[in-house]
Structures are given as structure tokens and as C-alpha cells.
Structure 1
């Protein structure tokens, strides 16, 4: 095993065993039996080491997503993606808290890749007319809620004791970004009571989100770059403007 790999393995073990998820570079060096110069040469500083630990641990989680063949139903993929995200956090609480710590000034590559995978699923939903917002905005809403729920479950377990909270929040957020017909036809969670369906006022936003996604995938020579940029702005505005 290389020195870099040994340092990374030891650091990951110490993070998992730490009461608060934090470790010192001194403790890592002692456990890995290397000098501080070797650690700094491979990882730059403590933040670089912890970022590498996050990427190393989260890589196992992302491996299942990378190898996954997208299903025919992107909405089900979105539901499964939410649930596996929370399950990973519960199995790796220290690693997950570290990944989302404000002290990490540079977002770990794993977090960025996870966001790209989510956006890709949402783009497929938009292609099928199932999205009422642009994929980019929908991804921000879902990811912020998903991370928020997961952090509460791992950081405040004595307060957030009801694990059904995750799926309740998931369904509420999906009802915001997906068209009503999708939510009506979705299998209800055992703990969730769905509200009465309101008149469909999302036809225009959903169509705008779908057209915008299709145009990005298959640019047309009928429009100049300036016209394409303007149309994209209009479609995003139609898709993302809050409805009263």
C-alpha cells in the first residue's frame, strides 16, 4: 500500500471512530506512522486531507449510482435517489457531517458529482413533461431538502426520532417540482396522506421546462445564438416563476 493510500485509510478510520467526526493531522500521522511532511506533500493541508477522506468514502455510495442503468421512470429514480442518500448518511454519520460542514471551503468532488446525477434524472423527467420547474432549479430544491433532512437525522437523533420524516419531506418537495398528474399516480407512502388534487395550473411551466431541456439537448440552427439565449431566458422564467 502506498504512503498516500495508508494515510487516507487511517484518516477515514479515525473520522469514523471520532466522537465528533474531527481528527488532527498529528493523530493521523502517528496512526499512519508517517511524518507531517509526507501528509502535507500528498494532501496539502488538513482541509485537503479531509476532502480526500470524504471523496474516498462517498465514492462507494456514488459507485452504485454510476453503474445504475437509468430506469424508464425517472420519477422512481428520483425517489430511490433520495432514499439511498439518507440511508448513506445514517450509515456514515461522521463522514456525512464532514462532507456538509461549513469548514469545507471547497465542495468535495463527490458532492458535485451527486448533484450532476440528480440533475440528469430531472432532465429525463423534463423530457417526459413531468417537471414543472427547470431541472437546475428543481435540483437545488431537492438537494437542499435532502441534505437538510439527512443532517437533522444524523446530527439530532434524539429530536428527529421518526424516520418517516424523510419520506414525508421527499413527497412534499416532489409535489413542488413534479406535475400533479405524476404525484397523483405515484404510489403513496404508507405514512403519507396525499391532499386533494387541485386544478392543473402547471401545464405552461411544465411545457416550458420540457422545451428548454429538449432545445439544450438538440440545438436548432433555426435560431441564432442570441435568439437561443433569449428563448432560454424566457423559458426559464416561465418554468421557474412562483405561481400564486
Structure 2
């Protein structure tokens, strides 16, 4: 058998196992994802699972990766949104809606602090978020530096979903989600573009966001100017 055909067959079986585990997780919760149950759902004998995954933790990591990829496919990217703050709200809402629609999967993906940080799909999703933040910074809307903005946006969305899921159904008030989103917007953005203000901090953030796109300065010069701009932005 040609090697490519054998590898393709292994990948198909691996995908079938991951999808079976993801389906069990969605329908019956994490405790239902056992070797025997996954094997039965995938149409395999239980020992076959361990020819594709070292242990159950490795299988759950693959299910989480499947979740990141599914979420990434749902993201909508506008490279030039007419209103970057509304674009930020829409991205936050999409993340929360995904969590509420896929509670068990979301807890697996985001319930443990370090899970997903090396996932290619997770990193691609973070790049989309960083692109939104960079557009805010370039327009002078960003109140804090880009790394802090990313942490605040990600943390509030994660916290909103996990808090919502922890509440009894009769105590789940949509106003909680709206309040958390608007608190995030207030913490991250200015009411007006800061570049219109007299102070240097907003202008520094806007220039810092645009710096990687210019080609006039050398790498060393960009690095030095970036340090100066970071200090100016921090003073604001």
C-alpha cells in the first residue's frame, strides 16, 4: 500500500474519533467521553483509540483543537470596518455566542488556563483579535496598549461565558453579558479618537500600530522608536 494512502487512512480514522468524542461531549458532557464510549461511537474497538492518541488527555486536546478550528471558521473578518468599536463589539459577541451554544466544548477549550496556547487555530484566532486591536490603535481609539487590550478582551469574553454557565438557568440575565461587554469597551477604548487630543499618548499608540507597515526605518531603528513610543503611550 502506498504510504500516502496509509497515512490518509490513519488521518480519516483519527478525525472520526475526534468527531465522535466531540459529539459525545456536546450531547452528554465530559464524563461521557470514555475510551469505550468514543470507540463505540466511532465504530472501533477500544484499543484502536490508543493507536492514534497516547491517552485520553491527548484525545481531549485534539477535541479542543477541533473546537478552536470550528470557532475560527465562524469568525468574520472585515479588514476595513466602518466603525472599529462596533467591530470590536461584534467580535466579542461572536465569541460569547459560541461559548453559550457549545458549553461543554467551551469549558474544555477555555476552562484550563494553559489549554490551547500552542494550538494553530487558537493562535490564528488571536491574530484576528490583534488585527481588530491594531485598527483601533491606528485610528487613535485605543486607551491601553495592545497587549493589555487583547488580554482584557479575551478575559472578559471567557469570564462572561464561564460565569453564565455557572449560574442556575433562572438566574441567567442577558444584562450581565451586555454589562460585561460594555465594561470591556470602556476599559479598552476612548470615547473619541485620542489622536485629536493634545497629549502625546494617543498619537504614540496610533504611530506604534502603524510602525510595522513602514519600510523607511531599519529594523534597529524601528525597535528603538517602538520602545520610545511604548514609553510615551504608557505615560498617558
Common topology (TM > 0.5): yes
Which structure dedicates a bigger proportion of its chain to helix?
2
Q: 2:223 aligns with which of 211, 229, 243?
A: 229
In the aligned structure 1, how far is the partner of 2:186 from the partner of 2:165? 25
Count of matched residue pairs: 224
Q: 2:210 aligns with which of 189, 210, 214?
A: 214
Q: 1:130 to 1:137 in 2, by over 3 A?
A: same
In the aligned structure 2, how far is the partner of 1:85 from the partner of 1:23? 25
Contact 2:87 2:132 in 1 (8 A): yes
Q: 1:142 aligns with which of 144, 153, 157?
A: 153
Two-structure CA RMSD over aligned residues (Å): 2.9
Corresponding residue for residue 190 of structure 2? 179
TM-score (norm 1): 0.78
Q: 1:103 to 1:127 in 2, by over 3 A?
A: closer
Q: 2:141 aligns with which of 125, 130, 136?
A: 130
Q: 1:105 to 1:60 in 2, by over 3 A?
A: closer
Q: 1:84 to 1:157 in 2, by over 3 A?
A: farther
Corresponding residue for residue 153 of structure 1? 164
Corresponding residue for residue 106 of structure 2? 96
Secondary structure of 2:52's counterpart equals helix
Q: 1:67 to 1:105 in 2, by over 3 A?
A: closer
Contact 1:15 1:94 in 2 (8 A): yes
Contact 1:119 1:135 in 2 (8 A): yes
Contact 2:96 2:157 in 1 (8 A): yes
Contact 2:67 2:109 in 1 (8 A): no
In the aligned structure 2, how far is the partner of 1:43 from the partner of 1:215? 44
In the aligned structure 2, how far is the partner of 1:113 from the partner of 1:155? 28
Secondary structure of 2:225's counterpart equals helix
Contact 2:20 2:42 in 1 (8 A): yes
User: Could you list the runs of 5+ residues in structure 1 that have no partner in the other structure?
Assistant: 183-199
TM-score (norm 2): 0.81
User: Is structure 2 residue 41 aligned with structure 1 residue 31?
Assistant: yes
